[in-house]
Amino acid sequence: MTARKSGSRLETEIERCRSEGQWDKIPELVRQLSAKLISNDDLGELLLGECKLQTYLKENPIKQGASPRGPRPKLVEVRKHLTAALDRGNLKADYIQEASLLMAKLCYVEGEYRDALGHYSRVNLDDMQLVGAPVYRLSMIAEAYATKGLCLEKVPAASPSLSNKNTGSPSSNRGTTEREQEIITCYEKSGDIALLYLQEAEKVCVSGIQNRSPKPGPTAQDQELGYFLETGLQRAHVIHFKNGNLTQGVGRFREILRAVETRTTQNLRMTIARQLAEILLRGMCEQSYWSPLEDPPTVSPLDDPTRQGHTHSKNYSLSRLIMCISLLLLLISESMANRDAVLSRIPEHNNDRIISLQSASVVYDLLTIALGRRGQYEMLSECLERAMKFAFEEFHLWYQLALSLMAAGKSARAVKVLKECIRLKPDDPTIPLLAVKLCIGPLHWLDEGECFAKMVIDMGEKAAEFRAKGYLAIGLVYSLKATDASLRSTQEDYQRKALGAFQRAQSLSPTDHLAAFYLALQLAVSRQIPEALGYVRQALQLQGDDVHSLHLLALLLSAQKHYHDALNIIEMALTELHLNLLYTKVKLESMCRGPEEALLTCKHMLQIWKSFYNLTNPSDSGRGSSLLDRAIADRRQLNAMTLPDFSDPETGGLQDANTLGFSSMFSVCSVHATSIAASRVEQALSEVASSLQSSAPKHGPLHPWMTLAQIWLHAAEVYISMSKPAEASACTQEASNLFPTSHNVLYMRGQIAELRGNIDEAKRWYEEALSINPTHVKTMQRLGLILHQLQRYSLSEKVLRDAVQVNSTAHDVWNSLGEVLQAQGNAAAATECFLTALELEASSPILPFTIIPRAL
Amino acid sequence: MLGSERGVVEEWLSEFKSLPETHIPNYAGSLHLKKSLVPALYRVIQDPNNELLEPVCHQLFELYRSSEDRLRRFTLQFLPELVWVYLRITASRDRQSNGCIEALLLGIYNLEIVDKDGNSKLLSFTIPSLSKPSIYHEPSSLGSIALTEGALCQHDLIRVVYSGLHPQRETFTAQNRFEVLCFLMLCYNSAVVYMPLSSYQSVCRMSSRLCVCGFPRQQQKLWREPCNRVLLDPEFMVQMLTAVYHAIYNGEWEMGREALEDILYRAQLELYSQPLLLGNAMKNSLPESAPDEPRGRKVLQVEVTPTISRISISAITTASIRRHRWKREDCFDYSTDAELSLTVNPPSLAQNHHHPPWDAAAKEERGGRPNSHHSSSSSIIPPITLEDADGMSAGEDSFNINDPDEGFSSGASNSSQPSGTKVGGSVGQRGGSLNSSSSSIKKAITARLSRDKEREREREREKEQEREREKAAEKQAELSADHQAAVRRHHQRQQSPPASITLDAIQLSPIKKHLSFPVGPTLVRTGSTSSSKSFDCMNFSVNGGEDEREEGLGGSDKEGGLPVSGSHRHSTISLQEEHLIRPEDAQDLLSPGAPLTKQSRSPSFNMQIISQV
């Protein structure tokens, strides 16, 4: 070997050509060689044989699974050369080995597996020198091991083995397992040497650039792994998995992955990383994973499913790792797949593009599975977004991106992506329905929602089971539009449309409780109480513990003035996290049981709020740009929202799906005497409050703070009903700290001022509230009353008429209007107003029906 | 229920009660041998009116409470069936007969939410970052994690809590129901490998039925028992999908696939994005045909896949675009300069500037008298260039100083680099001398060039290319100074306790080599093994990467120790062999010790990352 290094230039050149696979140059070099050294004729034969064999293999690559067929004319020539080289026997030992290996390879190609094994047994592969060997020789040895493994697999195990190890011909059973072991050993060695070869080859290539000219050996980087090397690298773990030896297979994967990376192995690494991740995701779980740095469990259930008992002890500290490792592997694969995805769409590259797209899409699917089951939709959506640059017209990736955006709560973008999905697959009713869901819910884009819902309805019979959903969706859109509308005629128009849609949905899908429930809700909003009760009962029969149905039932009962029944229903339905129901409960309690109970409920709500929002915090501890983005978005939202921040649903404004419709029917509360209990409650309330304040950060999602402000305002309202202005004022101050410019806060201040008898101040507060939200009916009503007291009748009438325009079902506004008209001497009109008020009051629930959230 | 089954169950009930504490491990080991017990227990659970149900539930809970893992898993295998029975009865509102199953489920839940010390369990995992090396990869080799702002923000590992701080539950309510059930399924999934096939069948059955009952699709099923729709939670459906996914690949191909379809059907109807997302991914990645042995556990298949890059080089990929973009923006890209020079230069120039591939002799000649070479290619270049280049072993002929920007920019870069260190100083000086001389001759050159109009045109492209190289070289000088600092930092860090990281420790692969392999363990080099504690000790791995590079470059200067060898290498070869400097430099800069200043985001830095593509 050392002699070689100082050998002639020609020899170096030959060695390099062999290493770099430039077989076409060999014949020429051999001619030069034979011209120089006559004695080395055999070497020439060897080289010619090799180059012809390799050229043949390059032209006729061996396909996976296809077994090589008998001798072919071209190979006869090869055999001639090699036999010539071997027969004369005046080659150096190294070259004899090489010739034998080539002969064996030739035998394999011709399908003569036994002969091949014979050759291998003569060479004794294990003794071959690897250290310092020239690069081509490493590849040759690696191929030899792989070929030997292939031959051993092909030759039936029962037959006497030709391998030098098995000549003892042991009993057949032991022989089989031993042979399997031998096969695996062959492949593993082949794989290891192949990796070594690739590393060395790259080194040579690098130093080639260094030492010679800037021009590298042609395409050193896309040196191809032949069939044999590839088999050697991959077949070992394939066999492990085939035999169910998950543990060893995974071990093998890791070894390959841990080898130093070379350019040639990049593709291999991507494949292997993906496959290992696949195995981890599909075949393992937290409790069965072991760390790459410790010995694998001696007996793992993975290897032998029939044996349940085993000695592997659970290692909790590792349970996190499996997720981390599979993610890491997938991210590695992803970044490679992403980098190599073909972007151009010209026809010539179409095949390449499809291949790269498929491999990338497999990786993304695995990534989805890995991240999705841990709820990491945010990160997932970022990953999928990277795939978009090669996903033009690829429905699957688009759809997955849309879904991940939706799951991550990025609604606006999700809708945009869903639009593209609809374009790609116009027949799928699910996609527009998903879009409607977002439009109705977090986005409150009612016009877009209507558009999407109509798409589903237009599909007609094709939409099958989704047709009912389509009607439900459009009904909800109309219903929400009705709530938003400021003109009475449009309101009624939308309500009629909504009712029709819900009825259609209900008749199409009579077993869907949602259809019945929304139909009931719509009927209730239009004050058809008995019919609504019928449908809500139907909904409850289909889905007995649906909270919203129960809530609606309670409100309906309260509209019929069965307050105690309503309270019972609420208490039945009530569980901790439904603040929405608790609002109703507060109302009902102060109605039926006095304000002390209501205050207790308020306190309870504060506690829930605290425990609920503190509990969910740890999961948000992760840092990252996405989180930051969200925070920024929230802050922006907060700024934009200072005006109508949480308006009650009667008048529109913010429509968060989770917004627990704020409402303020304060005047309903009757005033009761205070008691000792009340002061105790008050103390408890402020205790909770102070603890809240200390930990209250002012950033983060908006929703919790709105909820908190609402709770405070409810408490203030109860205090007002108890004629305790000081406490009410303190509560309002808490809400004001959170949302100083909320019209609800200003309205509450006005009420407190009124309670203190400070009419002018109250008027000022109400005017401020109206300047923030000009359609706040409660404020308008109170302002109207104050103006009435100040005897400014015409202005009062104007304000109250506006209020009636905004909400025609507010009976106390009608009542006030009547009073004003009466004071103006317009008795006839006043009577009419009073009658309307009376009529409306008979069907008025304790809180507006629209407190119930409407979402798909 | 058959009498024999009943007998089996009763025997099981009484056996455990009379079992002394010491026999429990034995008992746990033998439990699976009772072949008829598991089917009999399923029968009991499925029948809400069975009088054995209550003692069985109680017993299952006792097993779960024991410290023996195998006993816990014995109970856990019935979880899907229990959940199904519970949910079905809840939907039918027949609560009386449901009590003991509810109690069992809540019991398991309350046991699982706390750890051994009674603290609330917090289940979390770490999102790995590709920017840090692991035993599986080196960040530098993944060029695609370009340094976008977003990627920079996420350089820290993020620990994510996916389940935790669940409160104790005394009763099921409509609101906490799925919180409890989700958590229970999470527990099931974390031990799903240990479950027998019967449990996989049960989980598939449960998923299928929960998703279709009360819906039109139920009519197509063999199972037609009238049943109300069961409300489902998206997160719970995700957990079902996870279990079903495992079943599909571990012996229950047919049932698993059916369950997957049914979950997807339901997720579509409910418009739940999460289960749809996962279900779509699972469905899309299913192998086309059923695996060979559908009833065995051998469905996990891996094939020998051809890994030859099947994609033609001319196709446009992200990588190629990136190369292209850098080129166009006149930001030098030396990752490809070798190929580039071949393609860009017209043949006449190529013969001047690039030696024929195999002409080793010519190369040596040129090494001896670079002078003549230069004068032959362009006589206008004064020999002074060589004085600068001599230290750089004039192997590269590309230092043609005619770029007007050159003196300016490299001067700037030099002044920006404090040349405090010995080594960095030497590099800086060298660069400085190069600059001064180049600027001095620049005018003359350009003046003469302007006279040679016909040459001018011919040289146009060559110049461009050389400008690239020059800039690259400059940047290299700059970078090497950077690198000095980085190396120094590492060196300092190495003085501190974990100083045991020697080159040997990094090179060796700590994982056992199981074969009696004649080659010896060091033959296949193992990458970045120092970082096998991968995720948190960054500075180790940086050293590992560095070592790698030295190896790649021949490792001849190893004896000098890290800092010196690094500097030596840079000073000798950085200017001539830009394309050889492996981007581990970038890695150095990425180390947490070096804050991400503007400097580290300079184009040269980005370029290094990208040049890997």
Residue A724 is predicted with a pLDDT of: 85
Of all residues in chain B, the one with the smallest CA distance to A236 is B304
| Tens digit of each residue's pLDDT (9 = 90 or more) over B214-232 | 888 888 888 878 788 888 9
Sign of the C-alpha dihedral, residues B481, B486, B489, B494? negative
Nearest to residue B45, comparing CAs of B21, B75, B3?
Answer: B75
Query: How high is the pLDDT of residue B312?
Result: 61
Burial bucket for residue A85 (CB in 10 Å: 0-12, 13-18, 19+): buried
Residue A444 to chain B, least CA–CA distance (Å): 17
CA separation for the pair B10, B25 (Å, rounded): 21
Query: Minimal Cα distance from A388: which residue of B?
Result: B318
In this predicted structure, the answer to whether residue B197 has a pLDDT above a threshold of 50 is yes
Q: Is A180 helix (H, G, I), strand (E, B) or coil?
A: helix
Q: Do A222 and B300 touch (CB under 8 A)?
A: no
Q: Is the pLDDT of residue A551 over 70?
A: yes
pLDDT, position A243: 73
A353 touches chain B (CB under 8 A): yes
Residue B613 CA to residue B607 CA, distance in Å, equals 10
A359 pLDDT band, cuts 50/70/90, is confident
Instruction: Please check whether residue A212 is in contact with residue A174, taking contact to mean a CB–CB distance below 8 angstroms.
Output: no
d(CA B81, CA A23): 65
DSSP A159: S
Tokens of residue B329, six digits: 């923006």
What value of ipTM does the predicted structure carry?
A: 0.78
**Where would I find the H helices in A756-810?**
759-772, 777-789, 793-806
Q: Which of B121, B285, B576 is most worth mutating to test chain A (most A CB atoms within 10 A of its CB)?
A: B285
Q: What is the mean pLDDT of chain A?
A: 75
CB–CB contact B317 A342 (8 Å):
yes
Residue B48: what pLDDT? Answer: 81
User: How far does A736 lie from chain B, in Å, by closest CA?
Assistant: 32
Nearest Cα neighbor of A134 from A281, A325, A3 is: A3
Are A364 and A387 in contact by the 8 Å Cβ rule? The answer is yes
What's the pLDDT at B263?
A: 96
Mean pLDDT of chain B: 63
Distance CA B178, CA B239 (A): 11
Question: How many CB pairs below 8 Å do chains A and B form together?
Answer: 394
Angle at B135 between CA A248 and CA B521, to 5 degrees: 65
DSSP state of B114: B
- Give the range among A37-46, A348-357, B75-84, B592-601 with minimum mean pLDDT: B592-601
Are the beta carbons of A434 and B526 separated by less than 8 Å?
no
How far apart, in whole angstroms, are the C-alpha atoms of residue A500 and residue B556?
85
CATH of domain A635-851: 1.25.40.10
**Which of residues A317 and A11 earns the better pLDDT score?**
A11
| CA atoms of A269 and A252, how far apart (whole Å) | 13
Backbone angles phi, psi at B123, to 5 degrees: -90, 125
- Rounded to 10 deg, the angle between the A466-484 and A446-458 helix axes is 150
User: pLDDT tens across A224-283, in order?
Assistant: 667 788 777 888 877 877 776 777 777 887 777 777 666 666 777 777 888 888 888 887
Angle at the Cα of A751 from the Cα atoms of A750 and A756, rounded to 5 degrees: 95
pLDDT, residue A17, reads 78
Rank A9-18, A667-676, A803-812 by mean pLDDT and report only the highest: A803-812
Residue B290 has pLDDT above 80, yes or no: no
Residues in chain A: 856
**Contacts of A68 by beta carbon, 8 Å cutoff, 6+ apart:** A62, A108, A109, A110, A111
Interface probe with A: pick from B175, B268, B277, most Cβ of A within 10 Å: B277
Percent pLDDT > 70 in chain B is 42
Smallest CA–CA distance, residue B447 to chain A, in Å, is 30
| Cβ atoms of residues B517 and B566 within 8 Å | no
Instruction: Give me the torsion for CA of B376, B377, B378, B384, rounded to 10°.
Output: -70
Q: What is B268-336 written as a DSSP string?
A: HHHT-HHHHHHHHHHHHTS-SS--S-TTSS----------S--S-TTS-BHHHHHHHHHHHTT----SS
DSSP B160: E
Q: From chain A, pick out residues whose CB is under 8 angstroms from the CB of B338.
A: 209, 214-216
Q: Does A125 touch chain B (CB under 8 A)?
A: no
Asked if the model's pLDDT at residue B585 lies above 80, the reply is: no
CB atoms closer than 10 angstroms to residue A612? 14
Share of chain A above pLDDT 70, in %: 75
B517/A189 Cβ within 8 A = yes
Give which of A366, A214, A215, A195 is closest to A276, Cα–Cα.
A366
Q: Which residue of A has its CA nearest to B511?
A: A293
Token readout for B417 is 């680099």
Q: Calculate mean pLDDT across residues B150-164.
A: 63
Q: Of A206, A216, A328, which is closest to B134 when you measure between CB atoms?
A: A328
What region does A41 belong to: left with phi over 0, alpha with psi -120 to 50, or beta? alpha
The predicted structure's pLDDT at residue A316 = 37
Our measurement of the distance from residue A206's CA atom to the centroid of its chain's CA atoms, rounded to an integer in Å, reads 43
The answer as to CATH 1.25.40 being correct for domain A275-299+317-425 is yes
CB of A22 within 8 Å of any CB in chain B? no
Which residues between 622 and 661 in chain A have a beta carbon less than 8 angstroms from any beta carbon of chain B? 622-625, 628
Q: Please give the C-alpha separations between residue A205 and each of A210, A660, B259, B570, in angstroms, as whole numbers.
A: 9, 69, 53, 20
Residues 826-855 of A with CB under 8 A from B: none
Residue with more model confidence, A285 or B546 = A285
Question: How high is the pLDDT of residue A618?
Answer: 36
DSSP string, A423-491: HH-TT-THHHHHHHHHIIIII--HHHHHHHHHHHHHTGGGGTTHHHHHHHHHHHHHHHHHHH--SHHHH
Residue B220: strand, helix, or coil: helix
B194 near A CB under 8 A: yes
pLDDT digits (tens, 9 = 90+) for A584-642: 888 888 778 878 888 888 887 887 777 766 544 333 333 333 332 333 333 333 333 32
Q: Is B415 on the interface with A (CB under 8 A)?
A: no
Where is mean pLDDT largest: A162-176, A689-703, B145-159, B363-377? B145-159
Of A185, A319, A373, the CB nearest to B242: A373
Q: Of residues B475 and A454, which shows the higher confidence score?
A: A454
Burial A337-351 (b: 16+ CB within 10 A, else e): bbbbbbbbeeeebee
> What does the pLDDT look like over B179-190, one tens digit per residue?
899 999 999 998
A436 has pLDDT over 90? yes
A357 in Cβ contact with A341 (< 8 Å): yes
The CATH topology of domain A2-263 is 1.25.40
Binning pLDDT at 50, 70 and 90, where does residue B437 land?
very low
Give yes or no for B124 touching A (CB within 8 A). yes
Residues B60 and B12 sit within 8 Å (Cβ to Cβ):
no
> Which range in A275-284, A467-476, B67-76 is most confidently predicted, on average pLDDT?
A467-476
Provide the pLDDT for residue B391.
38
Closest residue to A216, CB basis, from B142, B235, B338: B338
Q: Name residues 209-228 of chain A within 8 A of B (Cβ).
A: 209-218, 222, 224-225
Measure in Å the smallest separation between the Cα of A735 and chain B Cα atoms.
Answer: 28
**pLDDT tens digits, A373-382:** 888 898 899 8
CB A258 within 8 A of CB A343: no
Contact B229 A366 (CB under 8 A): no
What is the per-residue pLDDT for A845?
86
Query: Judged by CB atoms within 8 Å, which residues 707-746 of A form the interface with B?
Result: none
Q: Is B273's CB within 8 Å of A403's CB? A: yes
Contact call for residues A395 and A431 (beta carbons, < 8 A): no
A610 touches B at CB < 8 Å: no
Q: Which residues pair with A1 in a beta bridge?
A: none
**DSSP alpha helices (H): ranges in A212-294?**
227-242, 246-258, 265-283
d(CA A405, CA A484): 28
- How many Å apart are CA A86 and CA A92, to the nearest integer? 11
How sure is the predictor about A31, in pLDDT bands with cuts at 50, 70 and 90?
confident
Separation CA A476–CA A468 (nearest Å): 12
Strands (E), B142-294: 158-164
Asked if A185 is an interface residue toward chain B (Cβ–Cβ < 8 A), one would say: yes
User: How far apart, in whole angstroms, are the C-alpha atoms of residue B66 and residue A668?
Assistant: 58
Surface of B (162-181) touching A: CB under 8 A = 162, 164-165, 167, 173-176
Residue A311 contacts B, CB cutoff 8 Å = no
The number of helices, as runs of H, and strands, as runs of E, in chain B is: 27, 2
Burial per residue of A44-64, b for 16 or more beta-carbon CB atoms within 10 angstroms, e otherwise = bbbbbbbbbbbbbbeeeebee
The confidence score (pLDDT) of residue A73 equals 72
Q: What is the C-alpha to C-alpha distance for residues B430 and A456, in angstroms, rounded to an integer?
A: 73
Q: Where are the CATH 1.25.40.10 domain residues in chain A?
A: 635-851
Query: Which amino acid makes up residue B438?
Result: S
Beta strands in B103-199 (DSSP E): 122-127, 158-164
Chain B residue with minimum CA distance to A14: B358
Angle (deg, nearest 10), helices A265-283 and A246-258: 150
**B residues 311-350 closer than 8 Å to A (CB):** 311-319, 321, 337-338, 341-342
| Closest chain A CA to residue B240 | A373
Q: pLDDT tens across A731-752, in order?
A: 888 888 888 778 888 999 999 9
CB contact under 8 A, B519 and A192: yes
A388 touches chain B (CB under 8 A): no
Structure confidence at residue B497 (pLDDT): 43
